[in-house]
Amino acid sequence: MIRALVLTSALRWSVVICCMAYTGAGLAHYPWLVPESFRLQPGDSLSITPGWGHHFGDEAVLEADRIAGLRILSADGADVSISRDGDQGFHSDALTPPGVYLAAATQVRGYWSRTPAGGLRQSRRDVPDAVSCSYSGNSMKTMVRVGTPAPPVPAAPVGHVLEVVPQSDVTGLRRGDTLRVLVLFQGSPYQGPLVALSESNGETPALETETDGEGFATVPLNAGGRWMLRSHASTPYPDPEVCDTQTFAATLTFHVAVDE
Protein backbone atom coordinates (compact mmCIF):
# COMPACT_ATOMS: atom_id res chain seq x y z
CA MET A 1 0.00 0.00 0.00
CA ILE A 2 1.17 3.50 -0.75
CA ARG A 3 0.67 5.79 2.18
CA ALA A 4 -0.83 9.09 1.06
CA LEU A 5 1.20 12.07 2.19
CA VAL A 6 -0.42 15.46 2.63
CA LEU A 7 0.81 18.04 0.14
CA THR A 8 1.05 21.40 1.85
CA SER A 9 -1.37 24.06 0.65
CA ALA A 10 1.47 26.42 -0.23
CA LEU A 11 3.15 23.90 -2.53
CA ARG A 12 -0.12 22.68 -4.01
CA TRP A 13 -1.32 26.13 -4.98
CA SER A 14 2.09 27.35 -6.18
CA VAL A 15 2.22 24.38 -8.56
CA VAL A 16 -1.41 24.76 -9.66
CA ILE A 17 -0.97 28.47 -10.42
CA CYS A 18 2.08 27.71 -12.54
CA CYS A 19 0.12 24.97 -14.36
CA MET A 20 -2.56 27.35 -15.58
CA ALA A 21 -0.32 28.32 -18.48
CA TYR A 22 0.47 24.66 -19.25
CA THR A 23 -2.94 23.17 -19.89
CA GLY A 24 -5.17 22.29 -22.81
CA ALA A 25 -4.06 23.20 -26.32
CA GLY A 26 -0.96 24.95 -25.01
CA LEU A 27 0.64 21.69 -23.90
CA ALA A 28 3.97 21.07 -25.60
CA HIS A 29 5.21 17.79 -27.05
CA TYR A 30 5.31 14.91 -24.56
CA PRO A 31 6.62 11.32 -24.67
CA TRP A 32 5.07 7.93 -23.98
CA LEU A 33 6.17 4.29 -24.16
CA VAL A 34 4.72 1.95 -26.80
CA PRO A 35 5.31 -1.79 -26.20
CA GLU A 36 5.08 -4.00 -29.27
CA SER A 37 2.65 -6.16 -27.30
CA PHE A 38 0.99 -5.78 -23.89
CA ARG A 39 0.67 -9.57 -23.53
CA LEU A 40 3.74 -11.77 -23.73
CA GLN A 41 4.69 -15.36 -23.00
CA PRO A 42 7.58 -16.45 -20.74
CA GLY A 43 10.78 -16.33 -22.76
CA ASP A 44 9.60 -13.48 -24.98
CA SER A 45 11.51 -10.21 -25.25
CA LEU A 46 9.79 -6.90 -24.63
CA SER A 47 10.27 -4.39 -27.46
CA ILE A 48 9.50 -0.75 -26.70
CA THR A 49 9.38 2.36 -28.88
CA PRO A 50 9.22 5.84 -27.30
CA GLY A 51 6.35 7.80 -28.85
CA TRP A 52 6.49 11.57 -29.17
CA GLY A 53 4.05 14.28 -30.19
CA HIS A 54 1.18 16.62 -29.33
CA HIS A 55 -1.38 13.80 -29.57
CA PHE A 56 -1.43 10.20 -28.35
CA GLY A 57 -1.03 7.99 -31.40
CA ASP A 58 1.17 10.40 -33.36
CA GLU A 59 3.60 8.35 -35.42
CA ALA A 60 6.65 10.38 -34.43
CA VAL A 61 9.30 8.57 -32.41
CA LEU A 62 11.51 10.05 -29.71
CA GLU A 63 15.09 9.19 -30.62
CA ALA A 64 16.71 6.66 -28.29
CA ASP A 65 19.53 9.04 -27.38
CA ARG A 66 16.93 11.41 -25.89
CA ILE A 67 15.82 8.73 -23.42
CA ALA A 68 17.47 8.63 -20.00
CA GLY A 69 17.11 6.15 -17.19
CA LEU A 70 15.05 3.46 -18.97
CA ARG A 71 14.35 0.51 -16.68
CA ILE A 72 12.32 -2.67 -17.04
CA LEU A 73 11.37 -4.17 -13.68
CA SER A 74 9.99 -7.64 -12.98
CA ALA A 75 7.17 -8.26 -10.52
CA ASP A 76 9.68 -8.68 -7.69
CA GLY A 77 11.43 -5.40 -8.57
CA ALA A 78 14.50 -6.93 -10.26
CA ASP A 79 16.03 -5.04 -13.19
CA VAL A 80 15.92 -6.71 -16.61
CA SER A 81 18.77 -6.12 -19.06
CA ILE A 82 17.96 -3.80 -21.98
CA SER A 83 19.56 -3.21 -25.37
CA ARG A 84 19.00 -0.48 -27.95
CA ASP A 85 17.36 -1.19 -31.30
CA GLY A 86 19.19 1.33 -33.46
CA ASP A 87 18.05 4.92 -33.00
CA GLN A 88 14.38 4.37 -32.25
CA GLY A 89 13.73 1.65 -29.72
CA PHE A 90 14.79 -0.83 -27.07
CA HIS A 91 14.35 -4.51 -26.31
CA SER A 92 14.80 -6.57 -23.18
CA ASP A 93 16.39 -9.90 -22.50
CA ALA A 94 13.99 -12.83 -22.30
CA LEU A 95 11.31 -12.31 -19.66
CA THR A 96 11.26 -15.67 -17.94
CA PRO A 97 9.20 -15.51 -14.72
CA PRO A 98 5.48 -14.91 -15.31
CA GLY A 99 4.23 -11.64 -13.87
CA VAL A 100 3.54 -7.99 -14.52
CA TYR A 101 6.55 -6.06 -15.80
CA LEU A 102 6.96 -2.29 -15.55
CA ALA A 103 8.93 -0.18 -18.02
CA ALA A 104 9.80 3.35 -16.89
CA ALA A 105 11.92 6.05 -18.46
CA THR A 106 12.69 9.75 -18.36
CA GLN A 107 13.46 12.08 -21.23
CA VAL A 108 16.77 13.92 -21.32
CA ARG A 109 15.98 17.36 -19.92
CA GLY A 110 16.27 20.39 -22.16
CA TYR A 111 15.44 24.05 -22.67
CA TRP A 112 12.90 25.38 -25.15
CA SER A 113 12.67 29.10 -25.89
CA ARG A 114 10.10 30.87 -28.02
CA THR A 115 11.64 33.72 -29.97
CA PRO A 116 10.32 36.15 -32.60
CA ALA A 117 12.02 33.90 -35.17
CA GLY A 118 10.63 30.60 -33.82
CA GLY A 119 11.46 27.98 -31.21
CA LEU A 120 14.98 27.06 -30.15
CA ARG A 121 16.37 24.41 -27.79
CA GLN A 122 18.27 27.00 -25.78
CA SER A 123 17.88 28.99 -22.57
CA ARG A 124 17.53 32.75 -22.11
CA ARG A 125 21.25 32.88 -21.46
CA ASP A 126 21.80 31.86 -25.11
CA VAL A 127 18.73 33.63 -26.53
CA PRO A 128 18.36 37.02 -24.78
CA ASP A 129 15.34 38.02 -26.92
CA ALA A 130 13.31 34.91 -25.95
CA VAL A 131 9.62 35.61 -25.40
CA SER A 132 9.38 32.64 -23.01
CA CYS A 133 11.56 29.77 -21.85
CA SER A 134 10.79 26.39 -20.32
CA TYR A 135 12.99 23.58 -19.03
CA SER A 136 11.25 20.23 -19.49
CA GLY A 137 11.41 17.15 -17.32
CA ASN A 138 9.21 14.40 -18.79
CA SER A 139 8.67 10.81 -17.68
CA MET A 140 6.79 7.82 -19.03
CA LYS A 141 5.71 4.35 -17.92
CA THR A 142 3.94 1.27 -19.30
CA MET A 143 3.11 -2.17 -17.96
CA VAL A 144 2.83 -5.57 -19.67
CA ARG A 145 1.73 -9.04 -18.59
CA VAL A 146 3.94 -12.10 -19.10
CA GLY A 147 2.17 -15.45 -18.97
CA THR A 148 -0.39 -16.01 -16.23
CA PRO A 149 0.91 -14.25 -13.16
CA ALA A 150 -0.06 -14.80 -9.57
CA PRO A 151 -2.50 -12.16 -8.34
CA PRO A 152 -0.50 -8.97 -9.02
CA VAL A 153 -0.09 -6.17 -6.53
CA PRO A 154 -0.44 -2.48 -7.42
CA ALA A 155 2.72 -0.97 -8.85
CA ALA A 156 4.87 1.05 -6.47
CA PRO A 157 6.19 4.49 -7.46
CA VAL A 158 9.51 4.50 -9.32
CA GLY A 159 10.60 7.94 -8.12
CA HIS A 160 9.93 10.18 -11.12
CA VAL A 161 9.45 13.87 -10.31
CA LEU A 162 5.87 13.62 -11.64
CA GLU A 163 4.32 10.17 -11.77
CA VAL A 164 0.98 8.47 -12.43
CA VAL A 165 0.69 5.42 -10.16
CA PRO A 166 -2.15 2.93 -10.87
CA GLN A 167 -3.85 1.55 -7.78
CA SER A 168 -4.68 -1.79 -9.40
CA ASP A 169 -3.29 -4.10 -12.08
CA VAL A 170 -3.58 -2.33 -15.46
CA THR A 171 -2.69 -5.47 -17.45
CA GLY A 172 -6.05 -7.12 -16.80
CA LEU A 173 -8.39 -4.22 -17.55
CA ARG A 174 -11.51 -4.67 -19.68
CA ARG A 175 -13.86 -2.22 -21.32
CA GLY A 176 -16.34 -0.96 -18.73
CA ASP A 177 -13.85 -1.10 -15.85
CA THR A 178 -12.67 1.93 -13.90
CA LEU A 179 -9.08 2.67 -12.94
CA ARG A 180 -8.09 4.59 -9.83
CA VAL A 181 -4.71 6.30 -9.95
CA LEU A 182 -2.53 8.35 -7.62
CA VAL A 183 -0.49 11.23 -9.06
CA LEU A 184 2.69 12.17 -7.21
CA PHE A 185 4.75 15.33 -7.65
CA GLN A 186 8.15 15.46 -5.96
CA GLY A 187 7.09 12.43 -3.93
CA SER A 188 3.86 13.91 -2.54
CA PRO A 189 0.23 13.61 -3.67
CA TYR A 190 -0.49 16.15 -6.38
CA GLN A 191 -3.75 17.99 -6.95
CA GLY A 192 -3.69 18.91 -10.61
CA PRO A 193 -4.81 18.00 -14.15
CA LEU A 194 -5.20 14.46 -15.43
CA VAL A 195 -6.12 13.69 -19.05
CA ALA A 196 -7.21 10.24 -20.28
CA LEU A 197 -6.73 9.49 -23.98
CA SER A 198 -7.95 6.43 -25.88
CA GLU A 199 -6.76 5.51 -29.35
CA SER A 200 -10.40 5.00 -30.35
CA ASN A 201 -11.17 8.66 -29.54
CA GLY A 202 -8.42 10.09 -31.71
CA GLU A 203 -7.36 13.55 -30.55
CA THR A 204 -10.43 14.05 -28.33
CA PRO A 205 -9.71 13.22 -24.67
CA ALA A 206 -11.89 10.53 -23.14
CA LEU A 207 -11.66 12.41 -19.85
CA GLU A 208 -10.24 15.69 -18.58
CA THR A 209 -10.33 15.92 -14.82
CA GLU A 210 -8.32 16.94 -11.77
CA THR A 211 -6.96 14.77 -9.00
CA ASP A 212 -8.39 15.41 -5.55
CA GLY A 213 -6.59 16.85 -2.54
CA GLU A 214 -4.97 13.48 -1.83
CA GLY A 215 -3.78 13.02 -5.41
CA PHE A 216 -6.40 10.47 -6.53
CA ALA A 217 -8.62 10.31 -9.60
CA THR A 218 -10.86 7.61 -11.10
CA VAL A 219 -10.96 7.00 -14.86
CA PRO A 220 -13.87 5.16 -16.55
CA LEU A 221 -12.61 2.96 -19.38
CA ASN A 222 -15.37 3.04 -21.98
CA ALA A 223 -13.41 1.66 -24.93
CA GLY A 224 -10.97 -1.09 -25.73
CA GLY A 225 -7.46 -0.67 -27.13
CA ARG A 226 -4.52 1.46 -26.06
CA TRP A 227 -4.98 4.15 -23.43
CA MET A 228 -2.74 6.84 -22.02
CA LEU A 229 -3.07 8.88 -18.84
CA ARG A 230 -1.17 12.16 -18.72
CA SER A 231 -0.57 14.70 -15.99
CA HIS A 232 1.50 17.87 -16.06
CA ALA A 233 2.88 20.45 -13.67
CA SER A 234 5.24 23.40 -13.68
CA THR A 235 7.20 25.45 -11.19
CA PRO A 236 9.24 28.66 -11.49
CA TYR A 237 12.78 28.13 -12.76
CA PRO A 238 15.31 28.82 -9.98
CA ASP A 239 17.14 31.51 -11.96
CA PRO A 240 14.81 33.77 -14.02
CA GLU A 241 17.76 35.09 -16.01
CA VAL A 242 18.24 31.59 -17.41
CA CYS A 243 14.64 30.42 -17.91
CA ASP A 244 11.05 31.07 -16.79
CA THR A 245 9.57 27.71 -15.79
CA GLN A 246 10.34 24.06 -15.21
CA THR A 247 7.66 21.94 -16.89
CA PHE A 248 6.90 18.29 -16.18
CA ALA A 249 4.73 15.77 -18.03
CA ALA A 250 4.11 12.19 -16.92
CA THR A 251 2.41 9.49 -19.00
CA LEU A 252 1.18 5.97 -18.32
CA THR A 253 0.18 3.72 -21.25
CA PHE A 254 -1.78 0.46 -21.00
CA HIS A 255 -4.18 -1.75 -22.91
CA VAL A 256 -7.88 -2.34 -22.26
CA ALA A 257 -9.38 -5.59 -23.55
CA VAL A 258 -12.80 -5.78 -25.18
CA ASP A 259 -13.28 -9.51 -24.60
CA GLU A 260 -11.14 -12.12 -22.95
pLDDT band at 28 (very low <50, low <70, confident <90, very high): low
Within-domain flag for 260? no
Give the separation between CA 200 and CA 3, rounded to whole angstroms.
34
| pLDDT given at position 260 | 54
What is the CATH number for 97? Answer: 2.60.40.3780
Tell me if 4 is assigned to some domain: no
Work out the average pLDDT over 133-146: 96
Please give the Cα distance from 128 to 245 (Å, whole number): 16
Region 116-128 average pLDDT: 93
* Spatial CB neighbours of 45, under 8 Å, sequence gap ≥ 6: 91, 92, 93, 94, 95
Look at residue 39 in the predicted model and tell me its pLDDT.
95
| Pairing of β 178-185 and β 188-189 | antiparallel
- The answer to whether residue 3 sits within a structural domain is no
pLDDT tens readout for residues 200-222: 887 789 999 999 999 999 999 99
Does the structure show a pLDDT above 60 at 26? no
| Total domain count, the chain | 1
Q: What is the 3-state secondary structure (H, E, C) of 72-141?
A: EECCCCCECCEEECCCCCEEEEECCCCEEEEEEEEECCEEEEEECCEEECCCCCCCCCCCEEEEEEEEEE
- 91 or 19: which carries more pLDDT confidence? 91
Query: Beta strands of the chain (E only): which ranges?
Result: 30-35, 39-40, 45-53, 67-73, 82-84, 90-94, 99-107, 110-115, 118-120, 132-146, 162-166, 178-185, 188-189, 193-198, 207-210, 216-220, 225-236, 245-256
Asked whether residue 259 is assigned to any structural domain, the reply reads no
Determine, yes or no, domain membership for 141.
yes
Residue 229 within any structural domain of the chain: yes
Any idea which of 6-15, 212-221, 230-239 has the lowest mean pLDDT?
6-15
* Mean pLDDT along residues 228-242: 96
Over residues 180-187, the mean pLDDT reads 97
Is 1 inside a domain boundary?
Answer: no
Query: What is residue 193's predicted lDDT score, i.e. its pLDDT?
Result: 97
Using CA atoms, how far residue 150 sits from 30, 98, 99, 153, 251, in Å, is 34, 8, 7, 9, 26
pLDDT of residue 27: 52
Q: Under DSSP, is residue 16 helix (H, G, I), strand (E, B) or coil?
A: helix
Tell me the mean pLDDT in the region 65-90.
88
Average pLDDT, the chain: 86
Whole-angstrom CA distances from 243 to 12, 31, 121, 155, 178 are 22, 22, 12, 35, 40
* DSSP for residue 174: B
pLDDT at 4: 31
Mean pLDDT of 40-51: 94
Q: What is the pTM of this model?
A: 0.86
Torsion of CA 67, 69, 74, 77, to 10 degrees: -160
> Per the domain annotation, does 135 fall within a domain?
yes
Give me the domain span that covers residue 137.
9-253
Instruction: Grade residue 24 by pLDDT with cuts at 50, 70 and 90.
Output: very low
Q: What share of the chain in percent tops pLDDT 70?
A: 87
Q: Is the pLDDT of residue 3 over 60?
A: no
Question: Could you tell me the CA-to-CA distances from 183 to 18, 238, 255 in Å, in that order?
Answer: 17, 24, 19
pLDDT band at 53 (very low <50, low <70, confident <90, very high): confident
Amino acid identity of 257?
A: A
